[in-house]
Amino acid sequence: MHNYLEDSKVMLIAHRGFSTDFPENTRAAFETALESNVDMLEIDIHRTKDNYLVVIHDHTINRTSNGKGKVKDYTFNSLMQFDYGVVKHIKFKGQHLMTLEQVLVLIKHYPQKLLIEIKQPHFYPGIEQQLIHILEKHDIPDEKVLIQSFDQKCIRNLHKMKVGFKLGVLISKKKYWYRMPNFDKIAIYADYVNPHYSLVNHKFITAAHSFDLSVMPYTVNEPNVAKKLIMLGVDGLISDNPTKLT
Ligand code: G3P
Ligand code: CA
């Protein structure tokens, strides 16, 4: 059978791990993704009260754990008292919150790249420097990691630090539904422009590519949407179920 995904050579990115079938941003979701044929793993980071970078999407633990409260108000040890699997399904009971460093140790054993999203950096002054320090401490090669954020200032800060990692700007539907991003300005400091998939059309792709910006839309979970985006010429697909897109 004709496989448009394989033919296209588009990058497949597991969004928060295999988050359709596993609790998002947990070891279970990451290991399953890393054992598959995806090209990249996407994670989100926040910071605890005692300065650990931890892998979680929201700035609170309310939705994804059996606890309540803000990540920044807890120490890492106190966040470990909660369960991060059971909300998805009882069979995932025992999944813990992971630190960024634990994910770096895990991904070293795999060929995939890591796409790190810095969440709400305004809550965490200096998080850019801290992230780079951790990546350097773990000897992570430049080509292994990409860093992205909705916060363009944060990505500009990383660019000013002259880091070797590829950088990306996330483009939200809420902010850009009526206008195109300033690709010319973004291209000065970023390599990727990753939009909500609904914003992608021929004009978007042509403009981004004309400034050498790669385009990896999120969150693409339907095969018909994936096919349309591939035909438009996207460079990657960020998906909760990347192996089910054909
Ligand atoms: O990687 C892109 C995507 O993760 C951005 O949105 O809210 O799922 O982190 P969100
Ligand atoms: Ca994300």
For the segment 134-180, what is each residue's pLDDT rounded down to a tens digit?
999 999 999 999 999 999 999 999 999 999 999 999 999 999 999 99
Rounded distance, CA 93 to CA 85, Å?
A: 5
> Does some domain include residue 174?
yes
Rounded distance, CA 48 to CA 142, Å?
A: 26
**Of 42, 46, 193, 218, best ligand 1 pocket probe by most atoms within 8 Å of the beta carbon:** 218
Q: What is the mean pLDDT of residues 182-198?
A: 98
Residue 1: band (very low, low, confident or very high) from pLDDT cuts 50, 70, 90: very low
> Does some domain include residue 36?
yes
What's the predicted TM-score (pTM) here? Answer: 0.97
Question: Helix H segments across 14-143?
Answer: 27-34, 76-79, 100-107, 127-137
For residue 95, pLDDT beyond 60: yes
Q: In total, how many domains does the chain have?
A: 1
The predicted structure's pLDDT at residue 2: 55
> Does some domain include residue 88?
no
Containing domain of residue 47, as a range? Answer: 2-59+100-244
Q: What is the mean pLDDT of residues 203-224?
A: 98
> Does some domain include residue 112?
yes
Residue 9: band (very low, low, confident or very high) from pLDDT cuts 50, 70, 90: confident
The predicted structure's pLDDT at residue 114: 98
For the segment 115-124, what is each residue's pLDDT rounded down to a tens digit?
999 999 999 9
The chain-wide mean pLDDT, for the chain, equals 96
Q: What CATH number is associated with residue 166? A: 3.20.20.190
Q: What is the mean pLDDT of residues 184-200?
A: 98
Q: What is the mean pLDDT of residues 9-15?
A: 96
User: What are the two backbone dihedrals, phi and then psi, of residue 157, each rounded to the nearest 5 degrees?
Assistant: -60, -45
Rounded distance, CA 211 to CA 167, Å?
A: 14
Read off the DSSP letter of residue 214: B
> Does some domain include residue 83?
no
Ligand 1 atom at shortest distance from the alpha carbon of 57:
9
The share of the chain scoring above pLDDT 90, in percent, equals 96
Which one is catalytic: 46, 57, 109, 202?
57
> Does some domain include residue 223?
yes
For residue 111, pLDDT beyond 60: yes
Q: Is the CB of 117 under 6 A from ligand 1?
A: yes
> Does some domain include residue 84?
no
Ligand nearest to the CA of 43: 2
Q: Is the CB of 46 under 6 A from ligand 1?
A: no
Q: What is the mean pLDDT of residues 211-233?
A: 97
Rounded distance, CA 72 to CA 52, Å?
A: 9
> Does some domain include residue 51?
yes
Residue 209 appears among annotated catalytic residues? no
Rounded distance, CA 117 to CA 70, Å?
A: 18
For the segment 123-140, what is each residue's pLDDT rounded down to a tens digit?
999 999 999 999 999 999
Residue 57 appears among annotated catalytic residues? yes
